[in-house]
Structure 1
């Protein structure tokens, strides 16, 4: 329901609120000693768009990516690569081409090759010419002269140095003797030397090869002895001790020479035998092994190993075979090559474990039990 005063109600309500505010309690004045309260700063309104970078200012100050952070770290300057052979201020049109840069790079290599290739070619041509035109006698004579001249020059330099240090003539002669022993044989290390070495190796007989190896072995032994003498003399070895050591070494060399000669005789005897000789050696081996197996059964070794079966017999045979090989010079002396009653009895006694193990592994223990032993 609408009345004529409805339109003025809003104005009346506003007048009543204004009177209430005016009639309210008034605030007490602040004491004189209290500092005045500063007014709160005004809050700026939110911008309607993100900030934009200002135009570049004239001056040496660099422009960074974010203009409102000028106090922060300055980014490093950008390095512009410059082509090979061009200066910093050159323009793009003045830069050298790829062909000219490659030519400038390979120019020193070309100069080096131009200097070295003729020298290498001349050396190769000289060696090939010597190989084709020089005789064997001329080659040996020239090599001998060059080698002797080199050795003489080196020895003269050493003699002068030792003489300045106070070396006596007796000491010089002894040093020359040791140097002659320690100096290896002369041989060319080029193409001619390789061809000569191949010709010597292909044309030598087995006897020459054996003699050459023996000479090389003896020379190596002498060099080792000379080096050992020098080392022990530096450590304070007396002449009496050196003489005693040389005597022991000489006796050891004699024993080694006798052993080597005995092995060579055995090897020569084996190579001369034919099929009948091999059959005879096999029969002798069977007889000696049977005697050893019978001795093993008589001593009870076969009966002791029989319950274990073939595996125990093989283990027993392997252990006895290792001892037997060590006794017969690691197998170089064959069973059929043993001569004399004493060596035969010792061989039979040492081969008892081998024969007993073979008898157990092959199931011959029952056959041995049937024998009237």
Structure 2
């Protein structure tokens, strides 16, 4: 008895993978079929992935793909960079009153948006105008930003007691907060009106930047006036020093008026002409000194002093003629 040689292929050749599903009927009917190996590598199909956006015969470069990917981000960044910079600068430079006013306006806008959404939702289910008005009235009563005082005599007494007991610093802070809140509300209303009229985001950002610069100038002017007001609330000795400084500067201006011939020109007109010239010069002097907020004795520096003395020549000359001191100026050894 001869033993046959072992098969060249295993009995499982050509069968599907173990986990590929149930064995089909072809195994019992036709037996295993072994696929023939490819005789030519060119006959084997090869799939070459092509990037999205490239043609069937060309592949997009890495630079083009990166540029196409980052183009929308760059466009959005260029459009929003100015607005973001302006908002960040405003947040870094705003005061406590401005921050409180901005937060209050944002809170009111949020409440208005929520009310509008609620009105739209309830209007779809059949809410009438009378029901909406009644609901709004109840919401206004229950709102957390309602007045802290009652609307009767007791509330008036509480408000009066609070106003009497507050310090000057508290009063200044309260008025500053109220002023900033009114300004922010007016600007928010202006933004809504201009947006409805077709204002672009770039135009809105430019207008906000101009308003921010105006607020900074106003803050500097207010701080300067506060310093002047604090300097005025001084002791009587300081007032005496200021009066002496005013008298010396006025005398120098009168000497300048006499040396230029202005005193001799108006002296024949008498005291009334001198008073008229002094009034006209005083009006000009007040205008140049920020309507009198800057005192004559507060001017410092050679340049500002020279300008002040020159501008006050009409005032000093008119006062010299009105008070009869023009002969005294003629008797000075300077002339």
Tell me the TM-score range normalised by the shorter chain. 0.5 to 0.7
Partner Cα separation in structure 2 for residue 264 and residue 152 of structure 1? 36
Within the candidate set 284, 287, 293, 1:326 is matched to 287
Match of residue 301 from structure 1: 262
Match of residue 206 from structure 1: 168
| C-alpha distance 229-164 of structure 1, shift in aligned 2 (>3 A) | farther
Map of 1:71-82 to 2, 5 A cutoff? Answer: none
Match of residue 253 from structure 2: 292
Q: Which of these two proteins has the greater Rg computed from alpha carbons?
A: 1
Map of 1:77-96 to 2, 5 A cutoff? Answer: none
Partner Cα separation in structure 2 for residue 297 and residue 338 of structure 1? 23
How far has the Cα of 1:194 moved from its partner?
A: 2.9
Root mean square deviation, CA, Å: 2.5
Q: How many residue pairs align between the two structures?
A: 205
Map of 1:148-163 to 2, 5 A cutoff? Answer: 156-161=114-119
Within the candidate set 175, 180, 185, 1:223 is matched to 185
Partner Cα separation in structure 2 for residue 320 and residue 152 of structure 1? 55
Match of residue 146 from structure 2: 186
Secondary structure of 1:193's aligned partner: helix
Say which structure, 1 or 2, has more relative contact order (CA 8 Å, 6+ apart): 2
| C-alpha distance 185-307 of structure 1, shift in aligned 2 (>3 A) | farther
Match of residue 266 from structure 1: 228
| C-alpha distance 306-291 of structure 1, shift in aligned 2 (>3 A) | same
Secondary structure of 1:321's aligned partner: helix
Match of residue 70 from structure 1: none
TM-score by length of 2: 0.57
Partner Cα separation in structure 2 for residue 200 and residue 364 of structure 1? 55
| C-alpha distance 281-154 of structure 1, shift in aligned 2 (>3 A) | closer
Secondary structure of 2:208's aligned partner: helix
| C-alpha distance 327-162 of structure 1, shift in aligned 2 (>3 A) | farther
Partner Cα separation in structure 2 for residue 152 and residue 237 of structure 1? 22
How far has the Cα of 1:193 moved from its partner?
A: 3.4
TM-score by length of 1: 0.51
Stretches of structure 1 that go unaligned for 5 or more consecutive residues are: 1-150, 166-182
Match of residue 345 from structure 1: 306
Match of residue 147 from structure 1: none
